[in-house]
Structure 1
Amino acid sequence: MKQNLKLAVIFCLAFTLSSCTTPLEDYQATSPQLDIQQYFSGKLIAWGMVQDYSSKVTRRFCVELDGQWQDDEGLLKEVFYFDDGEVTYRNWQLTKLKQGKYLGGAEDVVGNARGQQRGFAFQWQYDLLVPIDDDVIKLSLDDWMYQIDEYRVFNRTKMQKFGVTVAELTIFFDKQLPLRTCPRA
């Protein structure tokens, strides 16, 4: 009985803490202004890692990105090179709306991704189909990007199932020239 009560308290605490977030409006007056359309134009590279619920690093990866925009419509091609040799692809179709808002979709995104920019921050939320072992799991992602300078953006993402954070992503984007490439397995 005590064991069940402890588990219930831990679950409630984890659920409560995982639902806390900073309002995007808190970044309104910050700079530099993150312009998604400008930053994700052309080629850039990123490095990242996935951490499980216990903060253990479970995967590392490198991503080569290429973004092209025609007016307010964009295509962002991503090629992921994982440390275990896996290579995956994602093609984002992006639409810039009014007042710093964006819509997007990709092959493994369920429905529309919705994003909004304020100051140096961008919040991007969507449901993603993630292959795990022999199954595909739908996770809700809460992406936060922060522009450091004209070349670098940091990204922190919470991956949640039933409102509980099951993994986190950390990604570092860089578009400083000369542009590097990801190592090939």
Structure 2
Amino acid sequence: MAMGRLWRRGWVAPLLGLLLGCSDMDIDDFAGRTPTLVLEEYFAGRSEGWGIMQSRFGTLQKQFRIEAEGVWDEPAQTLRLTETYRFDDGQVDRLEWAILRQEPGRYEGREPALVGTASGRQAGNAFHWVYQRRSPVADGTRLGFDDWFWLQPDGVLIARASVRRFGLEIATMSVFYRRLDR
């Protein structure tokens, strides 16, 4: 059946929605949930994390550890955050974030490998972060990231990232953080 006939019959939009995937979560749904996540407070100081990367079909691709260190600059309203990812295959990826708090609950991020800027929103115990980044591997392919963070009791931070290439989810990352300085 030709694409035009599929489009006219209303099949293309739902099919694309399934293929591209989309999140039904809205950051405002987390307003009032506790403990409250304040990004610049959580990541000021040292923290560490552990995570896995899975293919779009759930196959384990990589495991990794994260070392993070952040400094909150109150006058500039900027969190400077360095994250070093060490993957089980020997790959190391270092991110040097400058995250600007624009207004309560809204953030903008810059990092040398980004394409443009990152955009983030916070409500209750959640933070949603969206950006495009050039792949740390040699080809430098653009990857889209749709990250969600949720603060849990006892200072555990859970993160899940959807990694996309050409609009299709190619992997997910699950990460667990804990702060070291507190």
Shorter-normalised TM range: 0.7 to 0.9
CA contact (8 A) 1:46 1:63 kept: yes
CA contact (8 A) 1:14 1:164 kept: no
Which residue matches 2:98?
A: 93
Measure the CA separation in 1 of the matches of 2:119 and 2:154. Answer: 24
CA contact (8 A) 2:99 2:109 kept: yes
Runs (4+) of structure 1 exceeding 4 A deviation are 8-11
Is 1:32 aligned with 2:35?
yes
Is 1:123 aligned with 2:123?
no
Which residue matches 1:79?
A: 84
CA deviation vs aligned residue, 1:15-69 (integer Å, no higher than 9, x gap): 26x1232111111121111000100000000011111111111111001000001
CA deviation vs aligned residue, 1:69-115 (integer Å, no higher than 9, x gap): 11111210111111012222111011111121111111211111010
Cα RMSD (Å) of the superposition?
Answer: 2.3
Q: TM-score, normalised by structure 1?
A: 0.84
Structure 2 counterpart of 1:58, from 53, 58, 61: 61
Q: TM-score, normalised by structure 2?
A: 0.85
Distance verdict in 2 for CA 1:11–1:60, change over 3 Å: farther
Structure 2 counterpart of 1:108, from 99, 105, 113: 113
Measure the CA separation in 1 of the matches of 2:102 and 2:14. Answer: 41
SS at match of 1:109: coil
* Alignment gaps of 5+ in structure 1: 179-185
CA contact (8 A) 1:59 1:83 kept: yes
